[in-house]
Amino acid sequence: MKNLKFCFLIVFLYVSFENLAQVRFMSGSWQEVLNEAQRQNKIIMVDFYTTWCGPCKLMTKTTFANPRVGDFAETHFVAFKVDCEKGEGIQLAQKYEVFSYPTIAFFDKNGNLLGKEIGYKNVEDFLEIMENYRKKFTK
């Protein structure tokens, strides 16, 4: 019985720490994301994806799951995921001319597009991209 409790504890801690390490994408509407970015005075990072996109899935599984990426994003950005084939995502993808997946777009706290990064990015490349946006657009 003690071994079983110990195993559950290990699994619980592993899952808990793993979830803390990854990028935590805000749920809700675009307006709620804008409100949160203004409240926190942060840049918005949006992952425009589709459910069938292999590179999108790989980026979620590797890059966005990396603890360094998660910590950096949590500190400097409001992160948001947009399914470009559902709900509000369809209009957002059209408005910001997203035609390739994944597209990671960066916006100021008022929703002005700062730039887009298209295609899969590994951990090191994505950390550099985030750092460049942070340096260039954070005052």
- Active-site residues, by number, are 53, 56
Question: Side by side, which strands form the sheet with 77-83?
Answer: 77-83, 43-49, 103-107, 113-118
Alpha helix segments (H runs only) across 1-139: 2-21, 30-40, 54-61, 67-76, 87-95, 123-137
Give CA–CA dist 10/113, Å, rounded.
Answer: 43
Q: Tell me the three state secondary structure of residue 53.
A: coil
Q: Which two tokens stand for residue 81?
A: 């995921």
Q: How many CA atoms lie within 13 A of 25 on its CB side?
A: 17
Detail the DSSP E strand segments found in 84-124: 103-107, 113-118
